[in-house]
Amino acid sequence: MNMPSFTAQRSLYRPSGRYQLGLHWGDMGGQRVIPQFTTPVYGLDCTTSTSGSVGAYYGNASCRGTISPGKWRVSTSCSVGFTYSSPYYYISPGEMQTLSAGPCLWGVDSVTVEEAP
């Protein structure tokens, strides 16, 4: 079963229903925040970012519940090919949550917000 997912990529929406954040080795100095986007299933208002340093980079997502309760997680795709995901968490309207997934040794390629059906 495919879960709807979002990643932020220079705030460019792709028809596949994904936002992609392309980060490379040189972009890892400090936390990088991507413009806010809204997910289609639960209407979560989210931003993604990265944090950490060599050996321990993390993908982060902060989401606020808006119109209905929802269930979501964050997945981090590492530069070296591993992917880490947080557990799914329930979120209520008006609630703000920040989730992280990692660590990535050499950097983060993408940070994805996934909504459970």
Q: pLDDT exceeding 70 applies to what percent of the chain?
A: 70
Average of per-residue pLDDT across 31-60: 85
The domain made up of 5-115 is a member of CATH 3.40.50 = no
Domain borders along the chain are 5-115
Q: What is residue 35's predicted lDDT score, i.e. its pLDDT? A: 66
Rounded to two decimals, the pTM is: 0.72
Q: What would the two tokens of residue 49 be? A: 């970012």
| Dist CA 102 CA 46 (whole Å) | 19
pLDDT digits (tens, 9 = 90+) for 50-91: 999 988 999 999 999 998 899 999 999 999 889 999 999 999
Burial 48-81 (b: 16+ CB within 10 A, else e): bbbbbeeeebbbbbbbbbbeeebebbbbbbbbee
